[in-house]
Amino acid sequence: MPKEVMRRQASDNVYLHRDFHGALSTGIEYLHTKFGEQAVRDYVRQFTNSFYAPLKEDIRKRGLGALKEHFQKVYEQEGGRVSFTLSEDELVMKVEACPAVTHMRQHGYAVARLFFETTRTVCEALCEDTSFEAQLLEYDHATGRSVVRFSRRRP
Amino acid sequence: MIPCTDFIPAYSELFKFLEERGGRRAVVDFWEYLSDNFLGNLRELAKEHGIRGCWLYWSHTLNEEAADFTMELDEDAGEFRILMHKCPSKGLLMGLSHVEPYHDYCGHCDVLYRRVLEPLGFECIADMSECDKARCSFRVRRRKN
Protein backbone atom coordinates (compact mmCIF):
# COMPACT_ATOMS: atom_id res chain seq x y z
CA MET A 1 0.00 0.00 0.00
CA PRO A 2 1.48 3.39 -0.98
CA LYS A 3 2.49 5.86 1.66
CA GLU A 4 -0.19 8.50 2.34
CA VAL A 5 0.69 12.09 3.05
CA MET A 6 -1.51 14.96 4.22
CA ARG A 7 -0.12 18.49 4.22
CA ARG A 8 -2.18 21.32 5.70
CA GLN A 9 -1.52 24.93 6.52
CA ALA A 10 -3.37 26.82 9.22
CA SER A 11 -5.22 28.85 6.59
CA ASP A 12 -6.73 25.68 5.08
CA ASN A 13 -9.14 25.27 7.99
CA VAL A 14 -11.22 27.21 10.48
CA TYR A 15 -10.10 26.91 14.10
CA LEU A 16 -13.11 25.34 15.77
CA HIS A 17 -12.51 22.06 17.59
CA ARG A 18 -15.66 21.47 19.61
CA ASP A 19 -14.32 18.29 21.21
CA PHE A 20 -12.32 20.64 23.44
CA HIS A 21 -15.54 21.14 25.41
CA GLY A 22 -15.33 17.47 26.37
CA ALA A 23 -11.73 17.90 27.50
CA LEU A 24 -12.65 20.90 29.65
CA SER A 25 -15.56 18.99 31.13
CA THR A 26 -13.21 16.10 31.96
CA GLY A 27 -10.86 18.55 33.66
CA ILE A 28 -13.68 20.01 35.74
CA GLU A 29 -14.86 16.58 36.81
CA TYR A 30 -11.29 15.65 37.76
CA LEU A 31 -10.86 18.79 39.88
CA HIS A 32 -14.22 18.20 41.55
CA THR A 33 -13.41 14.58 42.40
CA LYS A 34 -9.82 15.16 43.56
CA PHE A 35 -9.95 18.60 45.15
CA GLY A 36 -13.63 19.36 45.80
CA GLU A 37 -16.27 21.80 44.58
CA GLN A 38 -14.49 24.93 45.74
CA ALA A 39 -11.41 24.02 43.70
CA VAL A 40 -13.53 24.04 40.54
CA ARG A 41 -14.81 27.53 41.34
CA ASP A 42 -11.33 28.74 42.29
CA TYR A 43 -9.88 27.42 39.05
CA VAL A 44 -12.60 28.89 36.81
CA ARG A 45 -12.31 32.21 38.63
CA GLN A 46 -8.50 32.23 38.34
CA PHE A 47 -8.69 31.43 34.62
CA THR A 48 -11.32 34.12 34.00
CA ASN A 49 -9.42 36.80 35.88
CA SER A 50 -6.23 35.92 34.07
CA PHE A 51 -7.22 35.17 30.49
CA TYR A 52 -10.14 37.59 30.24
CA ALA A 53 -8.23 40.48 31.83
CA PRO A 54 -8.44 42.54 28.58
CA LEU A 55 -12.21 41.96 28.42
CA LYS A 56 -12.58 43.02 32.07
CA GLU A 57 -10.69 46.19 31.27
CA ASP A 58 -13.09 46.77 28.38
CA ILE A 59 -16.07 46.26 30.72
CA ARG A 60 -14.64 48.87 33.08
CA LYS A 61 -14.28 51.29 30.17
CA ARG A 62 -17.41 50.62 28.12
CA GLY A 63 -19.79 48.88 30.52
CA LEU A 64 -22.30 46.18 29.66
CA GLY A 65 -21.97 46.68 25.90
CA ALA A 66 -18.55 45.06 26.08
CA LEU A 67 -20.03 41.99 27.78
CA LYS A 68 -22.81 41.76 25.23
CA GLU A 69 -20.34 41.95 22.33
CA HIS A 70 -18.17 39.25 23.88
CA PHE A 71 -20.98 36.76 24.41
CA GLN A 72 -22.63 37.57 21.09
CA LYS A 73 -19.41 36.63 19.33
CA VAL A 74 -18.96 33.48 21.43
CA TYR A 75 -22.45 32.15 20.71
CA GLU A 76 -22.38 33.13 17.03
CA GLN A 77 -19.09 31.32 16.59
CA GLU A 78 -20.43 28.15 18.20
CA GLY A 79 -23.88 28.29 16.65
CA GLY A 80 -25.75 28.94 19.88
CA ARG A 81 -29.06 30.78 20.07
CA VAL A 82 -28.91 33.69 22.45
CA SER A 83 -30.91 36.85 23.07
CA PHE A 84 -29.97 39.98 24.97
CA THR A 85 -31.92 42.72 26.67
CA LEU A 86 -29.63 45.65 27.30
CA SER A 87 -30.17 48.89 29.17
CA GLU A 88 -27.67 51.21 30.78
CA ASP A 89 -27.71 49.35 34.09
CA GLU A 90 -28.73 45.85 33.14
CA LEU A 91 -28.00 43.13 30.60
CA VAL A 92 -30.07 39.96 30.54
CA MET A 93 -28.64 37.11 28.48
CA LYS A 94 -30.86 34.16 27.60
CA VAL A 95 -29.19 31.13 26.05
CA GLU A 96 -31.58 28.57 24.58
CA ALA A 97 -29.11 25.70 24.75
CA CYS A 98 -25.42 25.78 25.59
CA PRO A 99 -23.48 24.78 22.43
CA ALA A 100 -20.85 23.07 24.61
CA VAL A 101 -23.42 20.90 26.40
CA THR A 102 -25.20 20.18 23.12
CA HIS A 103 -21.94 19.03 21.49
CA MET A 104 -20.99 16.85 24.46
CA ARG A 105 -24.41 15.20 24.66
CA GLN A 106 -24.44 14.56 20.89
CA HIS A 107 -20.98 13.00 20.91
CA GLY A 108 -21.22 10.96 24.09
CA TYR A 109 -18.89 13.00 26.29
CA ALA A 110 -19.73 13.09 29.98
CA VAL A 111 -20.93 16.48 31.16
CA ALA A 112 -19.24 17.35 34.45
CA ARG A 113 -21.55 17.82 37.46
CA LEU A 114 -20.20 21.32 37.90
CA PHE A 115 -19.99 22.25 34.22
CA PHE A 116 -22.45 25.09 34.89
CA GLU A 117 -19.60 26.89 36.68
CA THR A 118 -18.27 27.70 33.21
CA THR A 119 -21.35 29.93 33.01
CA ARG A 120 -21.90 31.05 36.63
CA THR A 121 -18.35 31.56 37.86
CA VAL A 122 -17.14 32.95 34.53
CA CYS A 123 -19.89 35.59 34.54
CA GLU A 124 -19.34 36.44 38.20
CA ALA A 125 -15.58 36.70 37.79
CA LEU A 126 -15.92 38.86 34.68
CA CYS A 127 -17.76 41.37 36.86
CA GLU A 128 -15.29 41.32 39.76
CA ASP A 129 -13.52 44.67 40.13
CA THR A 130 -16.05 46.32 37.81
CA SER A 131 -19.21 48.32 38.54
CA PHE A 132 -21.35 45.29 37.74
CA GLU A 133 -22.40 41.97 39.20
CA ALA A 134 -23.72 38.78 37.64
CA GLN A 135 -26.43 36.41 38.74
CA LEU A 136 -27.24 33.05 37.19
CA LEU A 137 -31.03 33.10 37.36
CA GLU A 138 -31.78 29.83 35.57
CA TYR A 139 -29.75 26.84 34.42
CA ASP A 140 -30.88 23.54 32.95
CA HIS A 141 -28.23 20.84 33.40
CA ALA A 142 -29.61 18.72 30.55
CA THR A 143 -29.26 21.38 27.86
CA GLY A 144 -27.26 24.20 29.40
CA ARG A 145 -30.18 26.58 28.80
CA SER A 146 -29.50 29.57 31.00
CA VAL A 147 -30.51 33.07 31.97
CA VAL A 148 -27.85 35.40 33.37
CA ARG A 149 -28.47 38.92 34.60
CA PHE A 150 -25.65 41.45 34.73
CA SER A 151 -26.55 44.59 36.64
CA ARG A 152 -24.93 47.66 38.10
CA ARG A 153 -23.86 47.14 41.71
CA ARG A 154 -25.78 49.11 44.27
CA PRO A 155 -23.64 51.34 46.46
CA MET B 1 -19.68 29.55 28.46
CA ILE B 2 -16.02 29.19 27.72
CA PRO B 3 -15.81 28.85 23.92
CA CYS B 4 -13.78 26.00 22.48
CA THR B 5 -11.45 28.58 20.94
CA ASP B 6 -10.48 29.63 24.49
CA PHE B 7 -9.95 26.06 25.66
CA ILE B 8 -6.17 26.03 25.20
CA PRO B 9 -5.56 28.94 27.62
CA ALA B 10 -8.05 27.30 30.02
CA TYR B 11 -6.12 24.03 29.73
CA SER B 12 -2.78 25.76 30.34
CA GLU B 13 -4.22 27.58 33.37
CA LEU B 14 -5.55 24.26 34.70
CA PHE B 15 -2.03 22.80 34.59
CA LYS B 16 -0.77 25.81 36.56
CA PHE B 17 -3.62 25.53 39.05
CA LEU B 18 -2.96 21.82 39.60
CA GLU B 19 0.76 22.37 40.04
CA GLU B 20 0.07 25.05 42.67
CA ARG B 21 -2.18 22.59 44.53
CA GLY B 22 -0.26 19.35 44.22
CA GLY B 23 3.02 19.86 42.44
CA ARG B 24 4.13 18.27 39.19
CA ARG B 25 2.63 14.92 40.23
CA ALA B 26 -0.87 16.44 40.26
CA VAL B 27 -0.42 17.65 36.69
CA VAL B 28 0.77 14.26 35.42
CA ASP B 29 -2.03 12.51 37.33
CA PHE B 30 -4.49 14.72 35.48
CA TRP B 31 -2.92 14.01 32.10
CA GLU B 32 -3.22 10.28 32.81
CA TYR B 33 -6.83 10.72 33.89
CA LEU B 34 -7.59 12.69 30.73
CA SER B 35 -5.95 10.02 28.61
CA ASP B 36 -8.00 7.28 30.28
CA ASN B 37 -11.30 9.17 30.26
CA PHE B 38 -11.25 11.39 27.20
CA LEU B 39 -9.28 9.63 24.47
CA GLY B 40 -11.65 6.71 24.01
CA ASN B 41 -12.06 7.62 20.33
CA LEU B 42 -8.32 7.28 19.61
CA ARG B 43 -8.24 4.00 21.55
CA GLU B 44 -11.19 2.57 19.60
CA LEU B 45 -9.83 3.69 16.22
CA ALA B 46 -6.40 2.20 16.91
CA LYS B 47 -7.96 -1.05 18.12
CA GLU B 48 -10.19 -1.32 15.06
CA HIS B 49 -7.89 -0.01 12.33
CA GLY B 50 -4.40 -0.50 13.73
CA ILE B 51 -1.87 2.14 12.69
CA ARG B 52 -4.47 3.65 10.32
CA GLY B 53 -6.51 4.51 13.40
CA CYS B 54 -3.90 7.18 14.19
CA TRP B 55 -4.32 8.66 10.72
CA LEU B 56 -8.11 8.69 11.14
CA TYR B 57 -7.98 10.26 14.60
CA TRP B 58 -5.52 13.04 13.80
CA SER B 59 -7.13 13.75 10.37
CA HIS B 60 -10.13 14.94 12.35
CA THR B 61 -8.47 16.76 15.24
CA LEU B 62 -5.60 18.50 13.43
CA ASN B 63 -7.88 19.86 10.71
CA GLU B 64 -10.41 21.18 13.24
CA GLU B 65 -7.53 22.74 15.17
CA ALA B 66 -6.33 24.43 11.96
CA ALA B 67 -2.82 23.10 12.49
CA ASP B 68 0.10 23.59 10.12
CA PHE B 69 1.30 20.02 9.72
CA THR B 70 2.39 17.13 7.54
CA MET B 71 1.01 13.73 8.39
CA GLU B 72 2.34 10.48 6.91
CA LEU B 73 1.00 6.95 7.01
CA ASP B 74 2.98 3.94 5.81
CA GLU B 75 0.83 0.93 6.62
CA ASP B 76 3.29 -1.57 5.10
CA ALA B 77 6.02 -0.34 7.42
CA GLY B 78 3.55 0.04 10.30
CA GLU B 79 4.46 3.69 10.77
CA PHE B 80 2.57 6.92 11.28
CA ARG B 81 4.16 10.32 11.72
CA ILE B 82 3.06 13.89 12.44
CA LEU B 83 5.42 16.73 11.66
CA MET B 84 3.96 19.76 13.39
CA HIS B 85 5.30 22.82 11.58
CA LYS B 86 3.33 25.17 13.79
CA CYS B 87 1.26 23.87 16.65
CA PRO B 88 -1.94 25.96 16.92
CA SER B 89 -2.14 25.45 20.69
CA LYS B 90 1.43 26.35 21.54
CA GLY B 91 1.36 29.10 18.91
CA LEU B 92 -1.76 30.59 20.49
CA LEU B 93 -0.21 30.52 23.97
CA MET B 94 3.03 32.05 22.73
CA GLY B 95 1.02 34.86 21.13
CA LEU B 96 -0.64 35.93 24.37
CA SER B 97 1.00 38.95 25.92
CA HIS B 98 -0.97 38.94 29.18
CA VAL B 99 -0.82 35.24 30.15
CA GLU B 100 2.23 33.10 30.83
CA PRO B 101 1.78 29.55 29.46
CA TYR B 102 2.33 26.55 31.75
CA HIS B 103 6.07 25.90 31.67
CA ASP B 104 5.70 22.33 30.33
CA TYR B 105 2.57 22.82 28.30
CA CYS B 106 3.74 20.49 25.50
CA GLY B 107 4.45 17.68 27.96
CA HIS B 108 0.80 16.63 27.95
CA CYS B 109 0.85 15.36 24.36
CA ASP B 110 3.46 12.70 24.94
CA VAL B 111 1.80 11.46 28.16
CA LEU B 112 -1.75 11.42 26.76
CA TYR B 113 -1.10 9.60 23.49
CA ARG B 114 1.64 7.25 24.67
CA ARG B 115 -0.65 6.00 27.42
CA VAL B 116 -3.31 5.06 24.86
CA LEU B 117 -1.09 3.61 22.13
CA GLU B 118 1.66 1.68 23.90
CA PRO B 119 -0.69 -0.83 25.57
CA LEU B 120 -2.10 -1.53 22.08
CA GLY B 121 1.30 -2.65 20.76
CA PHE B 122 2.68 0.60 19.37
CA GLU B 123 5.89 2.45 20.14
CA CYS B 124 5.75 6.26 20.42
CA ILE B 125 8.66 8.59 19.73
CA ALA B 126 8.12 12.26 20.48
CA ASP B 127 10.61 14.97 19.61
CA MET B 128 9.80 18.06 21.63
CA SER B 129 13.19 19.72 21.19
CA GLU B 130 11.68 22.63 19.22
CA CYS B 131 8.58 23.16 21.35
CA ASP B 132 9.67 26.70 22.05
CA LYS B 133 9.11 27.37 18.32
CA ALA B 134 5.73 25.55 18.38
CA ARG B 135 7.30 22.72 16.38
CA CYS B 136 7.45 19.04 17.25
CA SER B 137 7.14 15.58 15.76
CA PHE B 138 5.33 12.48 16.94
CA ARG B 139 5.98 9.07 15.45
CA VAL B 140 3.99 5.89 16.11
CA ARG B 141 5.40 2.51 15.08
CA ARG B 142 3.94 -0.96 15.30
CA ARG B 143 6.17 -2.70 17.83
CA LYS B 144 8.09 -5.66 16.42
CA ASN B 145 7.88 -8.84 18.47
Q: What digits encode the pLDDT tens for the residues B29-72?
A: 999 999 999 999 999 999 999 999 999 999 999 999 999 999 99
Question: Which residues in chain B touch residue A31, judged by CB atoms under 8 angstroms apart?
Answer: 14, 17-18
Tell whether A15 is within 8 A of chain B (Cβ): yes
CB-closest option in A12, A20, A54 to B4: A20
Total domains in chain B come to 1
Whether pTM exceeds 0.80 = yes
CA distances from A14 to A102, B7, B61 (A): 20, 15, 12
Q: Which residues of A touch B69 (CB under 8 A)?
A: 6-8
Q: Which residues of chain A have a CB within 8 Å of the CB of B71?
A: 5-7
> Phi and psi (nearest 5°) for A137?
-85, -35
B116 three-class SS = helix
Domain of residue B96 covers 4-142
Task: Check CB contact under 8 Å for A26 and B98.
Answer: no
Whether B71 and A5 lie within 8 Å, measured CB to CB: yes
Q: Is A123 exposed, middle or buried (0-12, 13-18, 19+ CB in 10 A)?
A: buried
CATH of the domain at B135: 3.30.1380
The full set of domains in chain A, from first to last, is: 16-152 (3.30.1380)
How confident is the prediction along chain A (155 residues), in pLDDT tens digits per residue? 889 999 999 999 999 999 999 999 999 999 999 999 999 999 999 999 999 999 999 999 999 999 999 999 999 999 999 999 999 899 999 999 999 999 999 999 999 999 999 999 999 999 999 999 999 999 999 999 999 999 999 87
